[in-house]
Amino acid sequence: MKRVIGNPMKDEYDFSTAQRGKFFKAGARLVPPVHLEPEVLAYLSGLAETQGTSLNDLVNTLLKEDIERIDAAK
């Protein structure tokens, strides 16, 4: 890891050529990252591999099944 000594910030920044909203996309959805505990990740990765599917597809399938069970119990 690189150590930064002192303040890496400049005293001034020039925003005279900046464009407001340059990266804004109307209707864009934020997909937050999901962080799994190492043991859970290892287990699910192995299970996905044995089933010949991706980790993403496996996790979504498992979560959808849980959502169905939760909704059925209401």
**12-44 per-position pLDDT tens digit:** 999 999 999 999 999 999 889 999 999 999 999
Q: How confident is the model at residue 70 (pLDDT cuts 50, 70, 90)?
A: very high
Q: How far apart are CA 24 and CA 37, in angstroms?
A: 33
> What pLDDT, on the 0 to 100 scale, is given for residue 4?
65
Cα–Cα distance, 32 to 39 (Å, whole number):
21
Q: What's residue 1's pLDDT? A: 59
Domain boundaries, the chain: 38-72
Phi first, then psi: what are they for 50, rounded to 5°?
A: -65, -30
pTM value? 0.61
